[in-house]
Chains A and B, each alone.
Chain A
Amino acid sequence: MIIAAAPLILAAAAGFAFAFRKRLNVVGPFSLMSIVAAFTLVSAMPADLTGALLDLELRVTDLGRLASLVILATLFLLVIDVWLDEPAYNFFPTALAVGATALGVLVVTAPLAIFGLLVLGLLVPVGSFTFQVQRNRSVDAASRHFSFVALGGCLGLSALALSASLPHEQPANTFVLLVVVLVVAFALLLAAIPFHTHAALLASEVPAAALALYFGVLVPTTFIAFAEILTLSGLLPAIVQVVKVQDLLHGIGLVSAVGGAFLASGAPDLRRLVVYSVISNLGAALVGMATLSGPGIIGALASVIVTGTSASGQLLAAGTLERRSGPDRPTARHAPMAALAFVVGGFAMIGAPPLLGFPGRFFMELIAYQFAPLTGAALVVATLLLIVGQLRAVVALFGAGLERWTIESRPVAGVIGAVIFIALLIGGIQPAGFLRPIASFAEEFLKALRPL
């Protein structure tokens, strides 16, 4: 029960926050306190602690604890931003509910339960995606998101339920078919395909904080859940035996990595740049995972976690810049701190050293080269295109120059960007503490790949 305490606290807090959602001065601090309480509980929990809730087995893993702490810290920053700078009363219960499901995903051990919690978490933000519905297409964006999640969620749950009930004497092709359905289900949930229409629509129509909640918290959680489900479901040996599944993962990954980076390099606005960069990084991470090697898995997970955090910072900064600029094109003149936060977030997004994004990207590209030189080259090209996209954003923000350096009156996004940058810098200088829990998961993954 103690293992489930943090997600249960957040779930209960989400109910309370929903009841008092229109009192911003109550619900804001309350949400922050709930997140701090959950953070304390997760930090105090020893690794490998096991337990049960109802009849579901729970376990605290090193990776689960690391990811939970990062997710809670990101949620804390998002809630601060919305409370102080971008009031949106639907956001607080949504953020707490998303936190509860994300933490649940990271402690539950049954693949079906992991997937079910993930689907719940991905459905909840529908409430915070829609705003000022008569002025924009946010309802359309939320509807598409809803359809993709429902479709991917039900396909994935069905594939897992069938694979768990299949007798072992089934032909290998049946397992392969189920793995393919599972991969497609995750591709639908992750928006990992760059030409995913709902990702582009979400990027342009929904509030920046809701977008940060999705791309900063839910997308990394979905990717980690994918890795965990593959490990726990017993489907990995089928992937090794049939190369086609590995090729499918590679294919989706490469298309996302290069396609996402290509779109990011020509992105018409800041939000789309961030969203396409996340899609590109997700694709690269899929390629890393598809190598089915230790460095590939470590690189993939490390990269996805850092991508989520930096995307949150960049999206909040982009939201602030848009609000301060009004109908004009966003530039640093309107909000210099937020512009600076956007630029330093971009460093983390492209995996520039000495930030924490570097080790993950380095591992992925190295192992991709070893796997196939063409794949490695494609990932390097993707990184170069991302650099082009981020540099274009720097030019757009600072190109006109700053007449006078006046910090905006309430530089919330700027401060949040600075906090994220410092955390990533410290992590980059001392990466062992961050990479060790991921390495311990990679070991479990490799054991599940070739069971004795």
Chain B
Amino acid sequence: MIALGIVALATLAANGSRQLRYSAFALLGVSLAANAVSAGQLTMWELAVEGCGALVAFGVLYVAARDRTYGEDPGWRLWVATVVAAAATAACFATLRTASSELVTVPLIGEDPSGVTAQVAAFWLISSGIAILVTARTPVRGSLGALLMVTGVELLVRLLNVPQLGLTLLLAWIQAVIGLAGAFLIVNERVVREA
């Protein structure tokens, strides 16, 4: 439950930040907390692979920012994204919940075998990501939204009862490539803006 709270707060921090570097740090926090939410479902290797994907994405966004001040002011988009994400998370959980429908207990610290926490975190991240991506003006917030969504997808995939290594590796690659493509666009967009 605490990890879920950290995911929510880190998402808000990433969403509300005006500086890309702070958003990148917040994204790393989201990823670490998301790993903590569902650490029991993956082996150490699989966690390491996903961690690498998140680190690469963080690293390239951090470097792409070039200085502390560069970023996109979310303005009113912060509130729209937050309200939409909160409403969509509740709606998704009500309609698409796949976690066990039996009585569940959600521990404050430690594993949640029912998967409810992971699913709530996944829906929150995906809806936040969509809201941020759809309202983004530049690749800065576009990349941020896309990376939040991928982190949410990773959580959903972990709930599947199938071998995970191949899928984990694939999702880590997607995360890294989104980070790279986003950074490439950020750098080019800055060139255009400063020309």
Contact = CB atoms under 8 A, between A and B. Distances in A.
Interface of A: 53-56, 110, 112-113, 116-117, 119-120, 123-124, 126-127, 130, 133-134, 139, 142-143, 146-147, 150-151, 153-155, 157-158, 161-162, 164-167, 174, 177-178
Nearest to B125: A154
16 contacts: A110-B162, A113-B166, A116-B171, A120-B177, A130-B185, A133-B192, A139-B189, A146-B182, A150-B133, A154-B130, A157-B153, A158-B122, A158-B126, A161-B157, A164-B162, A165-B161
B156 interface: yes
Contacts of A166: 96, 98
Given A113-B170, A116-B170, A153-B174, A143 B185 contact: yes
Contacts of B166: 53-56, 110, 113
A193 to B, nearest CB: 16
Given A123-B177, A154-B126, 7 more contacts: A120-B170, A126-B185, A130-B188, A146-B182, A153-B174, A158-B152, A166-B98
A167 B159 CA distance: 13
A157 B129 CA distance: 14
A143 B133 CA distance: 11
Interface of B: 95-96, 98, 122, 126, 129-130, 133-134, 136, 138-139, 142, 145-146, 149-150, 152-153, 156-157, 159-167, 169-171, 173-174, 177-178, 181-182, 184-185, 188-189, 191-192, 195
Contact of A147 (B133, B159, B192): B133
A116 B134 contact: no
A309 B145 CA distance: 34
A380 to B, nearest CB: 37
B184 A127 contact: yes
A90 B122 CA distance: 35
B146 A150 contact: yes
A119 B157 CA distance: 16
A165 B164 CA distance: 14
- Most chain B CB within 10 A, of A120, A154, A161, A174, is at A154
Contact of B142 (A143, A154, A155, A177): A143
A167 B115 CA distance: 14
Contacts of B162: 110, 164
A158 B156 contact: yes
B103 to A, nearest CB: 16
A282 B193 CA distance: 36
A146 B139 contact: yes
A112 B145 contact: no
A130 to B, nearest CB: 5
A126 B160 contact: no
B95 A174 contact: yes
Nearest to A151: B133
Contacts of A177: 95-96
A130 B178 CA distance: 16
A133 B133 contact: no
A158 B158 CA distance: 11
Contact of A120 (B145, B157, B174): B174
B191 to A, nearest CB: 6
Contact of A165 (B98, B130, B149, B178): B98
A147 B137 CA distance: 11
A123 B157 CA distance: 20
A162 B159 CA distance: 9
A166 B181 CA distance: 33
Nearest to B150: A154
A55 B42 CA distance: 14
- Most chain B CB within 10 A, of A126, A139, A142, A153, is at A139
A116 B167 contact: yes
Contact of B136 (A56, A126, A147, A155): A147
Query: 10 smallest A-B Cβ distances: which pairs?
Result: A55-B163, A150-B146, A154-B149, A56-B166, A54-B166, A161-B156, A116-B170, A126-B181, A165-B98, A139-B188
B105 to A, nearest CB: 20
Contacts of B171: 116
Contacts of A146: 139, 142, 146, 181-182, 185
B160 A161 contact: yes
Nearest to A157: B153
A122 B141 CA distance: 20
B96 A162 contact: yes
